[in-house]
Amino acid sequence: MAVPLSLASFDPQRHFWQFLAATFAGASIGLAFILLRLFLGWSYVYDRLNSSTIIYEETGWYDGQKWEKSGLELTQHRLIANYQIAPILQRLRSVGIGLAIFLVLSLSIAIF
């Protein structure tokens, strides 16, 4: 998908590095959206596990309930959050930072 856009912007015969950088930048934007969606989903799970109360809706906004976790459940959920979900979030964060650095480098090569 990124190659046709790069071909429209740069001629690979004369501007090979700009063409390659634009292709990589275009391909990594889609990956960045997927990575962001994964990070937001796991962050939601992490927050729900760490919270002592859970607010949920049954059929609509007007009949929501609040559920208090017991001490044992809260301890179990926080252990799961800290030992299973937190490493996933840290890995996604580090991959996101690496992807952002790669994207900035690719765009700077393509522009200059």
- Where along the chain do its domains lie? 2-54+64-111
pTM equals 0.78
Q: Provide CB contacts within 8 A for 85, sequence distance 6+.
A: 42, 45, 46, 49
User: With 90 as the cut, is the pLDDT of residue 3 above it?
Assistant: no
Instruction: Write down the pLDDT at residue 74.
Output: 95
User: With 80 as the cut, is the pLDDT of residue 15 above it?
Assistant: no
Instruction: Write down the pLDDT at residue 88.
Output: 97
For residue range 83-96, what is the model confidence (pLDDT) as tens digits? 999 999 999 999 99
Instruction: Write down the pLDDT at residue 53.
Output: 92
CA 94 – CA 96 distance, rounded (Å): 5
Mean pLDDT of the chain, nearest integer:
87
Instruction: Write down the pLDDT at residue 90.
Output: 97
